[in-house]
Amino acid sequence: MQAMDRYTTMAVCVLMAWAGGIAPAQSPNLVNESRDLARVVRHPDGSRSVYKRQRGAKGMRCATYTASGRLAAINDYHEGKYGQLVGCNIYNHERALIYKVAYGYDSSARLIEERMFSHPQGKLVQRVIYKYSADGNRSKPIIVSLDPARSANIAPTMREDVSRIHRELGGAPVRR
């Protein structure tokens, strides 16, 4: 069971890297086996992620497989009118929906935040925040984990730090 959680986490990381435009430590292999196959990414641990365009919809599907070929996770990306990511559904190896992701952009159409919600509870579990320098270069992402299972272990100073980050971004403070 822990192995599947690891692959789900890896699928989430692939999601963040693809959405954020950063290349994780992997060697991509471009494949043109069919018109719908966009890319196959082979990971150092032997697993692979297969990206395909979705028929009849604006978006892409990423299926991640273990080194032995078993399905680990599926990410369905949804694109907006201008090709920007607007959402993503993340499924586990049993094809059960476990997370929904929403993307936020600034007035210059730059990705500034990703919000991941648990399903079916709808609780915010993670925020990935991007900041830009004056010349438009994006910094490394700031990842704020709001995992309800771990909230009991967060010290008050950490809670204050999270609230400060929320205030800086114009959001409401985190309440316990």
Model confidence pLDDT, tens digit, residues 34-67: 456 678 999 999 999 999 987 766 889 999 999 9
Burial class of residue 120 in the structure, from the number of CB atoms within 10 Å of its CB (0-12 exposed, 13-18 middle, 19+ buried): exposed
Q: Angle at Cα 7 formed by Cα 38 and Cα 124, nearest 5°?
A: 95
Flag whether pLDDT at 162 surpasses 80. no
User: Does one domain contain both 98 and 141?
Assistant: yes
User: Does one domain contain both 157 and 137?
Assistant: no
Whole-model pTM? 0.63
Which helix (H) or strand (E) is 164 found in, with range? helix 156-168
Which helix (H) or strand (E) is 87 found in, with range? strand 85-92
Name 145's bridge partners. 126
Query: 135 to each of 104, 132, 138, how far by Cα in Å?
Result: 20, 8, 9
User: Does one domain contain both 41 and 86?
Assistant: yes
* Owning domain of residue 59: 2-145
User: Does one domain contain both 122 and 165?
Assistant: no
User: Does one domain contain both 78 and 155?
Assistant: no
pLDDT in tens, 136-160: 999 999 999 886 565 444 444 444 5
User: Does one domain contain both 15 and 76?
Assistant: yes
User: Does one domain contain both 170 and 124?
Assistant: no
